[in-house]
Amino acid sequence: MNMVFRWFGEGNDHVSLQDIRQIPGTKGIVWALHDIPAGEVWPPERIEEVKQQAEAAGLHIDVVESVNVHEDIKLGLPGREQYIENYKKTMKHLAAAGVKVICYNFMPVFDWLRTDLAREMEDGSTALFYEGSRIEDVDPFELAKTVAGNPDVTMPGWEPERLAHLTELFEAYKNVTEEDLWSNLAYFLDEIIPLAEELDIKMAIHPDDPPWSVFGLPRLITSKENVKRMLGLNDSPYNGLTLCSGSLGANPDNNIPDIIRSFSDRIHFAHIRNVKIFENGDFIETSHRTEDGSIDIYEVVKAYYDSGFTGYARPDHGRHIWNEKCRPGYGLYDRALGIMYLWGIWDALERQEEK
Ligand code: DNO
């Protein structure tokens, strides 16, 4: 396991590179140029800047999360040709800097979605929470109006540039079926995977979070069956996965250790975290520890271990603890504790095998 840690960039993250370097067994940052809108080319000099900062702190920049995919590509609009060209340019610039894995997602309109950024738990810590009833009956067009009229409304995973166009985006997706989205993904992959092979950059799609349709929008990467379909769209090993245990695991029908064992050779990046699922399907992000949530993190790590996983892994979202003021889900403390839990399991498995 090549352990890495998400870092939002100088001046954009309260966690320093030095902090990250001090987490045992952590070798690199997971990064992005967050200020560059989806669809634009990442300039080589900006990439070089991050590389130099990271390397000065003794960390690598092998994993980028994410190079976001422009909506025209997901919608299959004529504009996609230009945006795919731009995507390819960014891939080339990243390869030149030594990047090995690009994480991306193919979720229409939003990235991850929660209803509460700081739901308090019994011990006083807070965490991201998803309450189905607050989403499932919401009319997206009404919501778009509220958002448009109120600059203070922000939702996790909703990039400002998308928020500004919410009504148009919902309108554009009105007639896009799940099958359309699959074929638009296939089109995108046919374009970029040959280049990924040439550049030796592994593409790693992130599952949809939560793994079901929200606001009536189609969603693809939601189950084992759909992961299989996605990998089958292009059989190249460069067409791979970011296996996020917390995203797929929010649906209790998804057996994460089984998914890992089934597709281990195509998992280039592991996001490992736990969630506690309530009877009505709501869920909260807990500590990484198995006992605290609904996902057996021991079995998750064991599945990677047994598969001889040598790819990149990061702790995923953590709780907000010890009065830390941080980005929702991205505090230093709980994610660092998560890393130690993951290493604890891994090292114990290694020892057992040596005996
Ligand atoms: C949330 C993240 C996601 C992820 C993207 C990948 O914290 O796991 O936002 O970065 O879906 O493209």
Helix (H) or strand (E) segment spanning residue 292: none
Main-chain phi, psi angles of 338, to 5 degrees: -60, -45
Instruction: With CA atoms as reference, report the closest residue to 25 among 342, 311, 334.
Output: 342
Q: How far is the CA of 316 from the centre of ligand 1 (A)?
A: 9
Percent of the chain past pLDDT 90, that is, above it, reads 84
150 vs 165: CA distance, rounded Å: 13
Helix ranges (H only) for 78-235 are 80-96, 133-136, 140-148, 160-163, 166-173, 178-199, 224-232
Residue type, 145: K
Across the chain, mean pLDDT equals 94
Could you list the residue range(s) of the whole structural domain that residue 233 is in?
A: 2-354
Distance 313 CA to ligand 1 centre (A): 14
Q: What is the amino acid identity at position 316?
A: D
Question: Which residues sit with their C-beta closer than 6 Å to ligand 1?
Answer: 65-66, 103-105, 111-112, 157, 206, 271, 317, 329
Centroid of ligand 1 to alpha carbon of 242 (angstroms): 10
Instruction: Judge contact between 115 and 129, C-beta under 8 A.
Output: yes
The number of residues in the chain equals: 355
In terms of Cα–Cα distance, which of 279, 280, 278, 298 is closest to 288?
298
- Rounded CA gap, 320 and 119, in Å? 10
- 3-class DSSP state for residue 225? helix
DSSP one-letter code for 265 = G
Domain count of the chain? 1
Q: What is the pLDDT of residues 81-123, one digit of tens each?
A: 999 999 999 999 999 999 999 999 999 988 888 888 899 999 9
Span from the CA of 351 to the centroid of ligand 1 (angstroms): 33
pTM for the model stands at 0.95
Q: Measure 105 CA to ligand 1 centroid, in angstroms.
A: 8
Sheet-wide strand order for 126-130: 116-120, 126-130, 283-285, 275-277
Residue 215: what pLDDT? 87
Q: pLDDT by residue (tens digit) across 320-350?
A: 999 999 999 999 999 999 999 999 999 999 9
Mutate to test the pocket of ligand 1, among 4, 105, 117 (most ligand atoms within 8 A of CB): 105
Site to substitute for ligand 1 among 104, 111, 117, 185, most atoms within 8 A of C-beta: 111
The residue whose CA has the least distance to atom 1 of ligand 1 is: 112
Mutate to test the pocket of ligand 1, among 7, 65, 114, 327 (most ligand atoms within 8 A of CB): 65
Residue 338: give its domain's CATH number.
Answer: 3.20.20.150
| Per-residue CA distances from 128 to 116, 142, 255, 319, 330 (Å) | 6, 24, 22, 7, 10
**Contacting residues for 234 by C-beta, under 8 A, at least 6 apart:** 186, 189, 190, 193
How many Å apart are CA 41 and CA 82, to the nearest integer? 11
Q: Confidence class of residue 310 from pLDDT cuts 50, 70 and 90? A: very high
Per-residue pLDDT averaged across 119-135, rounded?
Answer: 93
Question: How confident is the model at residue 149, as a pLDDT?
Answer: 60
Annotated catalytic residues are: 206, 244, 271, 316-317, 330
